[in-house]
Amino acid sequence: MFHYLLKRLASMVPLLFGITLVSFMVIHLAPGAPTGLQTDLNPRITAEARARLEAIYGLDKPLHTQYLIWLKRLMFLDFGNSFSTDGRAVMDKIVERVPVTVLINVLSMLLIILTAIPIGVISARYQNSLFDKFTTVFVFIGFAVPSFWLALLLMILFGVNLEWLPISGLKSLNYEYLPTFDMIVDRVKHLILPIFVSAFGGLAGLSRYTRSNMLEVIRQDYIMTARSKGLKERDVIFKHALRNALLPIVTILGLSVPGLIGGSVIFETIFAIPGMGQLFYKSVMARDYPVVMGILVIGAVLTLLGNLIADLSYALADPRIKVA
C-alpha cells in the first residue's frame, strides 16, 4: 500500500508542473495587460508611469523569467500579492474563502450520496416499476436543468413568494444579536438553497450510475448463490449486491470534484456567498492575475487530491486491485 501511495504521489509531480504551466500561460498569453484597468482609463498617463507600474508587478521581465519567479515562490506556497487596492497576499485571500466553499461542497456531496444511492438501488431492484420510470425522467431533467436557473426559481418560490428562506448571503443582518439556537437556525436556512442547487446535477448523475451498476451486479452468479441459499432479499441487496456496486462509484465521486468546484462560481455569485468561487469571479472581472492564477492552481490541485483519495479508497476497498 505504501509503495502504491508513493508511486501515485510521484506520478502527480509532472501533472502539478503542467498545471502551473497551463495556469500561467492562460493568463499571460492573452492580450490585455493587467495594468490595463488602471492605465487605459486614464488618458493623462505617461509611458514612464506605465513602465513604473509594470515594474512594480514584475511585468517588464520576459515571460519565462516571470514564470520561473512565480514557480519558485509557489514552492513556498507564496502566490504573490493581489493587484487589487488592498494588495494583500493572494494565499491569505484564498485561504479565508476556502472553508465556506469546501463546507458547501462537502455537504452537497453528502446529500448526493445519501439520496442518490438509495434512489439508484430501489430503481434497479424494481426495474421498470413506476418508481423506476419516474426517476428515469427525473434523471434526464436533472442533467438538463441549468443550475443557475434552478437557483432563480427556488429563490422566487421560497424566498420571494413563500418567504421561508433567505435568498442571499450566509447570515442575516441581525445575526450577532440572535440567541445561539437561532444563530444555528439562521445559518442552516441560508445554506439550504445553495446546497440543494449545487447537489441537484450530481444527484441525477449518481443515481443513474448506481442504478446501472446495481443492474449489472444483480445479474451476477454470486447474487443467485446468495438468493438460492435462502438469504433474505434485504441482505442480498444491501450486503452482497450494493457493496460490489458501490466500488466504481468511489471513482465517480473523485471525478466529480472539478465540476463541484467549478459550479461554486455560479451558485456563490447568485446567492452572494463569500467563497472561493465568488472571489474568483470578482478577481477575473478585475483582472487580478495573481489571484486568478492562484485559484486556478488550487482548484486543479484540489481535483488531483480528489482523484488520489478516490484511487486510494478504491485500492483499499477492492482486494482484487493489486497495489504493488
Partner 1 sequence: MERKTPKYLFWRRFTKNGLAVCGSIIVILLFFVAAFAPSISPYDPGQINIKDMLQPPSRYHLLGTDQLGRDVLSRMIWGSRISLMVGFVAVGIATVIGAFLGALAGYYGKWIDTVIMRFVDIMLCFPAFFLILAVIAILEPTIWNVMVVIGLTSWMGVTRLVRAEFLSLRERDFVKAAQAIGSKDVRVIFLHILPNALSPIWVSATLGVAAAILTESALSFLGIGVQPPTPSWGNILTAGKDNIEIAWWLSLYPGLAILITVLGYNLLGEGIRDAIDPRLKT
Contact of 84 with 286, CB cutoff 8 Å: yes
In angstroms, the CA 127 to CA 140 distance is 17
CB-facing half-sphere around the CA of 263: CA atoms within 13 A: 25
The binding track of 259-278 with respect to partner 1, each residue x by CB under 8 A or -, is: x-xxx-xx--xx--------
Question: 296: which residues sit within 8 A by CB, 6+ positions away?
Answer: 19, 23, 26, 27
206 binds partner 1 (CB under 8 A): no
Min separation Cβ 228 and partner 1, Å: 27
DSSP states of 166-202: --SSSS-TTGGGS-HHHHHHHHHHHHHHHHHHHHHHH
Query: How many Cβ atoms sit within 10 Å of the Cβ of residue 42?
Result: 11
Min separation Cβ 32 and partner 1, Å: 6
Min separation Cβ 57 and partner 1, Å: 15
Q: Which region, judged by CB under 8 A, interacts with partner 1, from 70-78, 110-118, 156-164, 184-192?
A: 156-164
Q: Which region, judged by CB under 8 A, interacts with partner 1, from 68-76, 97-105, 155-163, 219-227?
A: 155-163
Question: 249: which residues sit within 8 A by CB, 6+ positions away?
Answer: 117, 206, 209, 210, 213
287 binds partner 1 (CB under 8 A): yes
- Residue position matching grid coordinates 466500488: 247
Query: Pseudo-torsion of CA 122, 125, 128, 134, nearest 10°?
Result: 0
Q: Which is nearer to partner 1, 208 or 240 (CB)?
A: 208
DSSP states of 33-70: -TTHHHHTT-TT--HHHHHHHHHHTTTTS-HHHHHHHH
Min separation Cβ 100 and partner 1, Å: 16
For 80: left if phi > 0, alpha if psi spans -120 to 50, otherwise beta; the answer is: left
Give 3-state DSSP helix, strand, coil % of the chain, rounded to 5.
Answer: 75, 0, 25
292 binds partner 1 (CB under 8 A): yes
Cell of 304: 488531483
Min separation Cβ 240 and partner 1, Å: 21
82 binds partner 1 (CB under 8 A): no
Choice from 1, 6, 9, 15 touching partner 1 (CB under 8 A): 15
38 binds partner 1 (CB under 8 A): no
Contact of 203 with 116, CB cutoff 8 Å: yes
30 binds partner 1 (CB under 8 A): yes
129 binds partner 1 (CB under 8 A): no
Choice from 9, 156, 185, 321 touching partner 1 (CB under 8 A): 156
Choice from 75, 130, 160, 162 touching partner 1 (CB under 8 A): 160
Min separation Cβ 225 and partner 1, Å: 25
Min separation Cβ 150 and partner 1, Å: 8
The binding track of 294-323 with respect to partner 1, each residue x by CB under 8 A or -, is: -xx--xxx-xx-------------------
Choice from 9, 141, 184, 185 touching partner 1 (CB under 8 A): 141
In angstroms, the CA 299 to CA 23 distance is 11
Cell of 18: 503542467
Binding residues for partner 1, rule: CB under 8 A, are: 14-15, 18-19, 22-23, 26-27, 30-32, 140-141, 143-150, 152-153, 155-156, 159-160, 167, 208, 211-212, 215, 258-259, 261-263, 265-266, 269-270, 280-281, 284-285, 287, 292, 295-296, 299-301, 303-304
